[in-house]
Amino acid sequence: MSYLHKSIASADETEPRMLYSYHTAISGFAAKLSPDELKYMKTMDGFIHAIPDKHIPLLTSHTPDFLGLRQSTGAWNASTSGEGTIIGVLDTGVYPHHPSFNDDGMKPPSNWEGACQFKDFKCNNKIIGARAFGSTAVQDDIGHGTHTASTAAGNFVNNANVAGNAQGLASGIAPRAHLAIYQVCDEYGCSTSDILAGMDAAIKDGVDIMSLSLGGPSIEFFDDPIAQGAFQAMTKGIFVSCAAGNSGPYSASLSNEAPWLLTVAASTTDRRVTSSVKLGDGSEFSGESLFQPKSFSPTLHELVVPSKDPYCAGDLHVKVKNKIVVCKDGGDSSISKGEVVRDAGGAGMIIINEETKGSTTFAELHVLPASHVGYQDGKKILGYIKKTKKVTATFIFHGTNYGASPSPAMAYFSSRGPSNPSPGILKPDITGPGVNILAAWPDNVGTSSLSRVRSDNSSFVFNMISGTSMSTPHLSGIAALIKSEHKNWSPAMIKSAMMTTSDELDRSGKNIVDEKQKKATFFAMGAGHVNPSKAFDPGLIYDIVADEYIAYLCGLGYTDPQVGTIAGKKINCSVIEKIAEKDLNYPSISVTLGSKPVTVTRTVINVGDAESVYTLKVDNLVGVSIQVKPTMLEFSEVNEKKSFTVSFTNGVGKSGSVWESNLRWISDKHVVRSPISITI
């Protein structure tokens, strides 16, 4: 209050000017100020930095099995399914009455300082705490928070399905972990002051993991409240997992790029809810839809393209009664397009991707028979319409299918690197399942079409949605699994274990591809697709402590106050030995290479067998020389450290190109892989 002008501090106003006083996430407060009031505050001793409050968007079953997580085996067995760890979910709240949040078989947490602010629910051993910020209730009126919380740590629920599809046993990634809920978002988005208040409380309450399925545009770290709160969380040993963003497939479109947090991309699984389009010439194209009515007869219907309204946004300008309408994806939601077609008398709808969206399709609960097909198949359907006089089509519903290929594949919407504030750090970090993810949903939330989501003869609801919002809690849950087994590992060590054991190949042994079926770059998928079982025993890990991050921030050229804003204390960069971006001890390597050679240094810690020998393997590049010294790492004890250098020499001479390689340290038990990105 001492920083507010006397007239502000003493004013008797209905709505208080002081919003929050932060104690752990940052040293500061949030207040409603005019430009003149802020100008006055800047003259006061102790003032460091002011950031305008912003609204940023949310970035919105089978996946445990797809990740190799099965009851009593693999990572679940090794970690007791995350027992004892606490995941703080900062989102839209939660619907606590869903069976995904029952606490059957769970013990109370050993360390918990939080509160329970539900109006109609008593916290249990699953949901151990709940707080609301910017709202009076933690109740989830949107569904997003319920979905992400159950993805991270929902308990086991039998017969989960969406409209009879994807039926089976549902659970979160860490089904025995505890949940702490922080409601920081509403239907309008997420205020950064509320997010920071949630992070502030989560640190104080004692969470082990923070999961944030939200994010705004790329921004410098000293102006990013999430980066600042995450830094303080990291210093307390809290792992922070954040969504990479849904602004793909465009370059340099990332959110949440700070190196002390995990930046999560989104990819597909091998499950499809298949609704095929069968044309009059007999050709068939695989698409997706959750609405597959048994009453639909697969007889041929006339096909029509509303040329004046190709996105089916309103007036279709053509007669569509009893016809199947072809609509371009984009603009309004697919559900809204279907409502337009249905209201005009249409018999069905084919949604065709635009080129930028490639092969990524969504299984949604449409209001009429429909199929969402990829760009290439859409081109063929449009080609058939163009060259054929009498064009007809129908739908063939195949229900839920597994083993689809390629999988995983990158989703078009997943934001891409390189990082804007720090291109010397390869981002995103990793990818996980984020397309058509089935998880818990409030039974009183949704459009008219969602009324059909309710499982047969049950009082609970599941929903299937997509986004880096969905991939993020998968990684949060995996972090909880690792934390429960390796309690003394730092956030950087947990991140390293995930990244260096991730898969660069898909389930068929081929390169992971992007939405255009081309090899996915590290700027799309990060190190690769998470592999939980391997992450428990990575062999070697890279660690980074808070002082190294501070030296890195000084190396970025930030001023002392800017670094101090992030570090939460006074900083004098002139007396700190700066660390260049390329030399931060990150599990991946990103360099910009000109005419002069560039050398980076890394240090690994042996967390495998005491007596271990690792030999080097590097993917050779034509035109770029990569030299590593030494070429063998020999360890005689656990937690022993060894350093090595990697030198790059440009033999290409071209500019504007990006080259990729992998550095692997290989023992008789482990393969420790670091992706390398070289910008020339």
Contact between 498 and 430 (Cβ < 8 Å): yes
Contact between 479 and 648 (Cβ < 8 Å): no
Judging by DSSP bridges, how do beta strands 301-304 and 284-288 pair with one another? unpaired
62: left (phi > 0), else alpha (psi -120 to 50), else beta? alpha
Q: Where are the alpha helices (DSSP H) in 443-579?
A: 468-485, 491-500, 522-525, 532-535, 546-555, 560-567
Contact between 481 and 173 (Cβ < 8 Å): yes
Tell the burial category of 382 from Cβ atoms under 10 Å away from its Cβ (0-12, 13-18, 19+): middle
Catalytic residue among 91, 377, 443, 506: 91
Amino acid symbol at 316: L
Contact between 614 and 663 (Cβ < 8 Å): no
Q: Where are the alpha helices (DSSP H) in 585-635?
A: none
Question: Which of 434, 404, 431 has its CA nearest to residue 417?
Answer: 431
* 133, two tokens: 């910020």
Catalytic residue among 469, 476, 484, 496: 469
> Is 5 one of the catalytic residues?
no
| Count of other CB atoms within 10 angstroms of residue 14 | 4
d(CA 512, CA 583) in angstroms, rounded, equals 28
What residues pair up with 351 in beta bridges, in sequence order? 327, 372
| Count of other CB atoms within 10 angstroms of residue 636 | 9
Q: For the chain, what is the radius of gyration of the CA atoms? A: 26
Chain centroid to Cα 462, Å, comes to 20
d(CA 52, CA 664) in angstroms, rounded, equals 44
Catalytic residue among 144, 147, 178, 372: 144
Question: Which of 136, 135, 176, 138 has its CA nearest to residue 156?
Answer: 176
Q: How far is CA 645 from CA 332, 585, 629, 642, in A?
A: 51, 11, 5, 11
Question: Which of 111, 99, 104, 114 has its CA nearest to residue 81?
Answer: 104
Residue 233 DSSP SS3? helix
Name, in order, each residue with C-beta under 8 angstroms of 47's C-beta and a sequence gap of 6 or more: 3, 41
Please spell the DSSP secondary structure of 149-204, one letter per residue: HHHHHPPPEEEEEETTEEEEEE--SSTTSEEEEEE-EETTEEEHHHHHHHHHHHHH
- Give the active site residues: 91, 144, 469
